[in-house]
Each structure stands twice: as structure tokens, then as C-alpha cells.
Amino acid sequence: MPYTPTTWVNDVTQVSAANLNNMEAGIENAIPKDIAGVATDKVPVYDGSDWVAQKILNAQIDSAAAIALSKLAINPSPTPATSLPGSPVDGQIAILTDSLTVPTYSWMFRYDTGLTTDAWTYLGGSPVMAHVQTTESRGSTYGDLTTPGPAVAVPVGGVYDVRWGFQYVQAHATAELLFMSFSGCGFTVGTHEASSGYVGGSANSQVMKAERTLRLTLTAGTLTTKYKTASAVGSFAQRELAVTPVSVP
């Protein structure tokens, strides 16, 4: 119960058991008690009748408290890792990489509990890219060129910007149409294509560029490019594939 101080008056107030016990109770209530199971984000607080575990609210912390950054449950300087944290907190920053010694990409994410899906939002970093320079031809069905690829590994499923393209080398008068697609990570070849063509007429050598970018939901795995031509007379050169995350679970 709340503590009521005794008003002491010389030669009037008695030194009685009641008054002394009231004093003892006030002293006891002024000292925090051990509260079993108090979480790390709570402190003992006297509610007027007993000590209870209470969460500290941001509004209750004075701006002059000068709490050291190392004491706060945040990660201001995340260490690169090959997987995202398993139990993230709202606002946490993480860096995902494919290697701690020789990384080919490093992606920074922020965890947002307000998002209904894909709570890790991409903040920055280079895309994962692959490139094949060799000029090679392909028949009228989708498949690999003599030098397969390029291909990239997608480390975790989510929403990505996928960019793929090639240069078309034309050195004949025959009309031609070339297609570049990909398979893997939840997609079958031919679902999405980048294409380039030549209507015919001149046998002079020409180089044309085909490129496409789409925002797609990928599963974790390997994305591999595939090729075909309409009449098997065209050649693919400078093949490229790049994947940049947007958000992941």
C-alpha cells in the first residue's frame, strides 16, 4: 500500500510500534526488490504499492542521458555474413555477401517489421554479375552455347531486378532473329526473352544490342542463360547477366 509519512512533533508524537513500523515499511518500499524473470528490456519500478517489472519507453529517457551506442540493442556497424540474421529486430542493418575473403558482391539490407512480406529491404551494394565474351551460334531450340552461361547464384529467394542481354553479330544477308532467355530460380526457359534481329538485305558486318530488365520474384538457386535463333545463322557475343535484390524475406 502507498506509504504515508508520519508527522513528527516534539513532545507530542509517540515513539510507538505503529510509527516505527510505518517507517520500516517506507524504507522497505524505497529499496527495489528482486523480480524473477525480468526481461532485459524492463526495470523494477514502484507502482505505489509494490515493485513491478516495467518496460522503458523512449519518451521516458532524457536526452541528457548520454547512453553509449554500444549499450543499445541495435547494430550500427554490421559485420558481413553469408546469411541474414535468424532473429532480426526492427530497424536492424545486415550485410549479405557470398564470401568473407573474396566477395563478388556485398548487399546491405534493413529489417522492417512494418512490411507484410519480404521484411529485408535492399539498401545498396553491387549486383551479382556474370559475363561471357565468346561469340558463338545456336540452333532453333533453346539450349546452351558451346561456352555455357553466363549464370549467377541467387543466395536467397525474394524480389530481384534481373538484367540480361547480348550483342548480335550479323555478317550475312539472311534475315535472322535471336533470343536469349534463362532458366532456374523458379522459371523455365522461354518465359522471359530478350531478342534482336536483322531483316536481311546487306551482307556487311553489323553489331546490334539486345537487353532487357524485369523485376521478378526468384527462388534461391542458380539462374542460367539459354539461347536460340530463328534460322541458325546468327551469333551471340558479349553475353551478360546481372541480378540486384529489391527485398527478401
Q: pLDDT digit string (tens) for 151-165?
A: 999 999 999 999 999
Give the three cell numbers for residue 12: 507530542
pLDDT of residue 172: 64
Residues 12-67 pLDDT 10s = 888 888 878 888 877 776 665 555 555 556 666 666 666 677 777 777 777 777 77
Grid cell for residue 232: 541458325
Task: Please name the residue that has the C-alpha cell 532473429.
Answer: 87
The three grid cell numbers given for residue 53, joined into one nine-digit string: 517489472
Q: List, in order of start, the domains of the chain with CATH numbers.
A: 78-126 (no CATH), 128-248 (2.60.120.40)
Q: What is the mean pLDDT of the chain?
A: 85
User: What burial class does residue 140 get, using C-beta atoms within 10 Å of its C-beta: 0-12 exposed, 13-18 middle, 19+ buried?
Assistant: exposed
Report the pLDDT averaged over residues 189-213: 78
pLDDT of res. 125: 96
Q: Is the pLDDT of residue 70 over 70?
A: no
Q: Is 13 helix (H, G, I), strand (E, B) or coil?
A: coil
Q: What is the pLDDT of residue 134?
A: 92
Q: How confident is the model at residue 204 (pLDDT cuts 50, 70, 90)?
A: low
CA 155 from chain centre, in angstroms, equals 11
Q: What is the pTM of this model?
A: 0.69
Question: What confidence score (pLDDT) does residue 22 get?
Answer: 80
Residue 31 has what pLDDT?
A: 62
> Is the separation of the CB atoms in 241 and 204 below 8 Å?
no
Which of 7-11, 48-52, 72-76, 174-178 comes out lowest in average pLDDT? 72-76
pLDDT at 62: 77
Average pLDDT of span 200-220: 81
CA distance 19 to 7: 10
Q: Which residues are registered as beta bridge partners of 209?
A: 167
pLDDT digits (tens, 9 = 90+) for 99-152: 999 999 999 999 999 998 899 999 999 999 999 999 999 889 999 999 999 999
pLDDT tier, 236 (very low <50, low <70, confident <90, very high otherwise): very high
Question: Among 17, 20, 244, 236, which residue's Cα sits nearest to residue 134?
Answer: 236
Distances (CA, A) of 100 to 79, 80, 81, 96, 129: 10, 7, 7, 10, 18
What is the mean pLDDT of the segment spanning 186-201? 83
